[in-house]
Every structure is written in structure tokens, then in C-alpha cells.
Amino acid sequence: MIEFKIGVLIGACAVLIIWGLIYWRRQWLESYIMEEEAPDGDYKVILRKRSAYQKIAVAENNGVYHLFADGSEMFSTDKAEDQYSEAIVHIPMAAAKTRESVLIIGSGVGNTAREVLRYEEIESVTAVDLDPFIVEMGLTFEPFVNFTNGSLQDPRVKTVLDDGRKFLEKSNDRWDVIIIDLPDPSYHTPELSQLFSVEFYRLLKSRLYPGGAISIACSVVSTAPEYLAAIRATLKTAGFHVVPYHWDYIVEFAVDWGFCLATLKPVDPLSLEPLIPVKHLTEERLEDMFLLPRYLRVEWDEDEVQTDRNMLLAEILEGEYLIEKPE
């Protein structure tokens, strides 16, 4: 009987250890690829690395490669990435009077630089990113290099490893087009709030040529439409004319991305069209992009803006900033 009880106890302990290891492994994996962000179906994780700034993972699924940072997907070699790149690049390029110099803050592995380099007028692209490992992947990881046409290797591209704000504070250069493609600010990364603040946008204004244009990625607005409204208000406070737009992935990918076009003079958005051949920005799509659906037209106090001293955008994304939506 004693032997039996000991055996049961040992067995129970073994089960607890196994379940503990399974739970630990799952938590560890989720820190690299969150379950809700994982590719559909079976996928293979081919790389995990903790860089100086974040946990990086690359997964492959049916020939598509997905790049994750701290569990969230930041890039993939698929149609959705092509659509996103066209939306964030070709709208400001069409709005700007000239397109000789472009600044990309949050250049990543080079997908936005790829689209920028398609313009013959381009003389220089300044690609700023904080994480050297991400940039290195854009330069050397074959699936990414193939997808971006080796954009970061182009002699017209100057890669800068720095925080985007610190870089601008040290630089006196100006650009025709500025593209801001950054992760969402959060309580986990509070420093990112200062790359969405009215103080930062005023700095951008001083670095933009008079006929220039800026595009800013505004997260998945299908889950947080107030986020787009807050960024729009912040840009207006900084002195920009702002046109919000969106790319509705709902049918294919179940998300809707928001963007803001910021200029120093008013722009008629319905007059904008790509200046070079593109795959996805059709005439019908362009019209839809600038006609915001009802759920994105939230009421917003124009005095509620992101500053260097608050966490407004993080509060919105965390669901802690409550606003009464119109009926």
C-alpha cells in the first residue's frame, strides 16, 4: 500500500512537472509569437532571437515568411504587405510637389523603401530604424531581400541605426516626403509615445520642404477608431492639414488599417492618384480609402492630443480611454 501511494505521488508530481513545462514553453513561445498573431494553419518557426531591443521571430507558412517583434507581426511576404506598402507610400508621393528625397522612420526590412525606389526622381532615401538586427535581416535574409528587391542595398538608400526622434533632433536636413511606419505606443514601450506626440510632429514640420507630404501609419483602426481621430487631432495641433484614410482588409484579412496624410497646405484627396503603375490602388479603391466608414467617424475633442507627457494613444489601445460614440 505504501509503495502504491508513493507511486501515485511520483506519478502526480511527474504530471505536474510535465504540465508546468508545457505551460512554460507556451508562455515562452507566446513571448515571440502571440497565439492570436500566429499564421493560420501549420507553420514552422525558423528563427528566434532576442535582439538588443526586442524578441524577434520568423515563421514560414506555405512559402510566406512572417516577421514578429515581441509577439506581434510586423512584416510578411504576402499580398497584404504589398497593399499596406502601396497605401503608406504612394499617397504621400502623389501629394508631394517633388519626390527627390524621402525619409522613412521605421524602415524595417525595406518594404516601404522598395516602393519609394520605384520613382525615377528619387535621389536619396534615408531609412531610419532602431534595431540593427531587423536591418541586417533586410540586407541579408534571402526571403526578405527577394520580397523587397534588395531595397536596403540600393546605393541611393542611406541606412541610419537610431531612434527616429533623436535622429531628427540631430539633423538639419529636410525631405520632400516623410513616411512614419512605427509600432503602436504602449505601456510596455512608453518611449514610442514621443514619436507620435505634438512635439514630435512639430519637429517633422520643420524637416519637411514646403511642398512636402507625410504619411503616418495609424494602427488597426477596426478595433480602435479613436486612435485615428487622436492622431489626426495631434497633427492638426502641430500645424498640419490632415486627411485621414484607411485600407479596408475586412473581406480578406479581417482588419482595417488607418493612415493620416499630413501636408503644409490643403490637399484635395479625391484628386490624388498614383504617379506610377501599382497593383492595388485602383480608382475605386482610392475613392473608398478617403471616404471613411461611419464607425471611423468618431466624435473627438480636438484638445485631446498625444504629448510628450501623456499616454493617450496607449490608453486608447488598452481600452482605458472611454469615449461615447455617436448613434
DSSP character at residue 309:
T
Q: What percent of the chain has pLDDT over 90?
A: 70
Q: Give the pLDDT of residue 68.
A: 95
Helix (H) or strand (E) holding 283: helix 283-290
Tens of pLDDT, residue by residue over 224-280, are 899 999 999 999 999 999 999 998 764 555 678 999 999 999 999 989 999 999 999
For residues 123 and 98, the answer to whether their CB atoms sit within 8 Å is: no
For residue 299, give Cα distances in angstroms to 145, 220, 225, 318: 43, 18, 10, 19
In terms of DSSP bridges, do strands 208-220 and 124-129 run parallel, antiparallel, or are they unpaired? unpaired
pLDDT in tens, 32-89: 999 877 888 889 999 999 999 999 999 999 999 999 999 989 999 999 899 999 999 9
d(CA 163, CA 206) in angstroms, rounded, equals 18
As for how many domains the chain has, the answer is 2
The share of the chain scoring above pLDDT 70, in percent, equals 86
107 shares a domain with 17: no
Residues 273 and 182 in one domain: yes
Q: Indicate whether 159 and 63 sit together in one domain.
A: no
pLDDT score at 219: 85
For residues 96 and 154, membership in a common domain is answered with: yes
pLDDT tens for 89-145 read: 999 999 999 999 999 999 999 999 999 999 999 999 999 999 999 999 999 999 999
DSSP string covering 229-262? HHHHHHHHHTT-EEEEEEEE-HHHHS-EEEEEEE
Same-domain status, 49 and 83: no
- 221 and 100, same structural domain? yes
Catalytic residue among 129, 181, 184, 256: 181
Do both 36 and 167 map to the same domain?
A: no
Last residue of a domain, one of 28, 55, 75: 75
pLDDT greater than 80 at residue 22? no
Contact predicate 81/195, CB 8 Å = no
- The CATH number covering residue 283 comes to 3.40.50.150
Cell numbers found for residue 58: 520568423
311: its cell numbers = 499616454
181 is catalytic: yes
**Does one domain contain both 69 and 199?**
no
Question: How far is CA 89 from its chain centroid?
Answer: 13
Please give the average per-residue pLDDT across 174-200, as a whole number. 95
For residues 241 and 226, give the distance between their C-alpha atoms in angstroms, rounded to a whole number.
Answer: 19
Predicted local distance difference test score (pLDDT) of residue 17? 45
Residue 324 included in any domain: no
State which of 75, 90, 119 marks the end of a domain: 75
Q: Is residue 25 situated within a structural domain?
A: yes
Global confidence as pTM: 0.88
Q: What is the pLDDT of residues 301-327, one digit of tens each?
A: 999 999 999 999 999 998 876 544 333
Last residue of a domain, one of 75, 98, 115: 75
Tell whether 87 is covered by a domain: yes
Confidence of residue 166 (pLDDT cuts 50, 70, 90): very high
Q: Does the structure show a pLDDT above 90 at 27?
A: no
- What per-residue string of b and e applies to 231-269 under the rule 16 or more CB within 10 Å gives b? bbbbbbbbebebbbbbbbbeeeeeebbbbbbbbbeebeb
Work out the end-to-end distance of the chain between its first and last CA atoms, rounded to an integer number of angstroms.
Answer: 70
Q: Which domain holds residue 52?
A: 2-75
